[in-house]
Amino acid sequence: MMKQAGPNSPIVQIRDLNKSYRRGDQLIPVLRNISLDVNSGEFLALMGPSGSGKTTLLNLIAGIDAPDSGFLRIGGVDIQDLPDAQLSGWRASHVGFIFQFYNLIPVLTAFENVHLPLLLTSLQRVERREHALAALDAVGLSDRLDHYPSQLSGGQQQRVAIARALVTDPLILVADEPTGDLDKESAADVLDLLVKLNEAFSKTIIMVTHDPRAAACSRRILYLDKGVLAHSLTNRS
């Protein structure tokens, strides 16, 4: 059943979430009794040692994976109850993905990579072009429309990936180590862009990172350890 969020409801609501993976005959718990809320317009960083469950939690929020128990609501929708076909459509329109290694298609230009998710929408051709151009302008790459990924720096490729994540105007942006493959200067530029998207455009961002400098750009940090929420830290209002 799809439930719509009220005007003051958190955009992400998680209660008693559990997730395990099977390795042979052994069941390995990854997340245990996770409960948290993420408000609309928040910039949340997830930190913790390798194997703490950060990426698993991010994938559950993004609808890539399903929990074993507990409930997970995004924008008031109980996504774990959606059939696979409906979940795929929900994910395409409500979640923007930003990956560590960009995941750009090498034979497509920057414009074509950003335009690609719009082919799954009901927008007309002219509207799709306008949306793609606006997304590339938002990340400062209007002058790189016809460049292929191999012709762009790592930082520029990540900005194309952010534009692709933004182009459908999703409910949330999920970022998995978005600066992990970048040099210090490029990483700072990408983080500045994410802060701008959060502050100027009220984009809700949930980011997994090992980098304290990246986490410091968020509004709140949640620390996971051995599959449980250890503690939280508020960075800025």
Q: Is it the case that residue 7 has pLDDT exceeding 50?
A: no
- Flag whether 124 is in a domain: yes
Residue 76 Cα distances to 10, 18, 174, angstroms = 8, 20, 18
Out of 40-49, 117-126, 203-212, least confident range = 117-126
- Flag whether 10 is in a domain: no
Who's near 134: CB < 8 A, 6+ residues apart? none
Q: What digits encode the pLDDT tens for the residues 132-188?
A: 999 999 999 999 999 999 999 999 999 999 999 999 999 999 999 999 999 999 999
Considering the chain, what percentage of its residues have pLDDT values greater than 90? Answer: 82
Task: Tally the domains of the chain.
Answer: 1
* 40-51: average pLDDT: 94
* 183-205: average pLDDT: 95
Q: Is it the case that residue 214 has pLDDT exceeding 60?
A: yes
pLDDT top residue among 186 and 5: 186
What mean pLDDT is reported for the chain? 91
- Flag whether 69 is in a domain: no
With beta carbons less than 8 A apart as the criterion, state whether 108 and 148 touch: yes
- Flag whether 125 is in a domain: yes
* 197-213: average pLDDT: 94
What token pair was written down for 113? 């990579």
pLDDT top residue among 25 and 198: 198
- Flag whether 34 is in a domain: no
Check residue 4 and give its pLDDT: 39
Query: Which residue type does 152 have?
Result: L
Around Cβ 159, how many Cβ atoms within 10 Å? 24
Q: How confident is the model at residue 232 (pLDDT cuts 50, 70, 90)?
A: confident
- The CA-based dihedral angle spanning residues 105, 109, 114, 118, taken in that order and rounded to the nearest 10 degrees: -90
- Flag whether 31 is in a domain: no
Who's near 168: CB < 8 A, 6+ residues apart? 92, 93, 96, 117, 118, 121, 131
- Flag whether 28 is in a domain: no
What token pair was written down for 150? 């191999």
Q: What digits encode the pLDDT tens for the residues 58-72?
A: 999 999 999 999 999
Q: What digits encode the pLDDT tens for the residues 85-116?
A: 899 889 988 999 999 999 999 999 999 999 99
* 17-43: average pLDDT: 93
Check residue 24 and give its pLDDT: 86
The CATH number of whichever domain residue 130 belongs to comes to 3.40.50.300
Residue 170 Cα distances to 92, 140, 192, angstroms = 8, 19, 20
Side-chain half-sphere exposure of 109, counting CA atoms within 13 A: 13
- Flag whether 71 is in a domain: no
Helix (H) or strand (E) holding 26: strand 26-38
Phi/psi region, residue 113 (left: phi>0; alpha: psi -120 to 50; beta: rest), is alpha
Range of the domain at 100: 40-54+83-234
User: CA 61 to CA 147: how far, in whole Å?
Assistant: 33
The conformation of residue 100, written as its DSSP 8-state character, comes to T
Q: How confident is the model at residue 5 (pLDDT cuts 50, 70, 90)?
A: very low
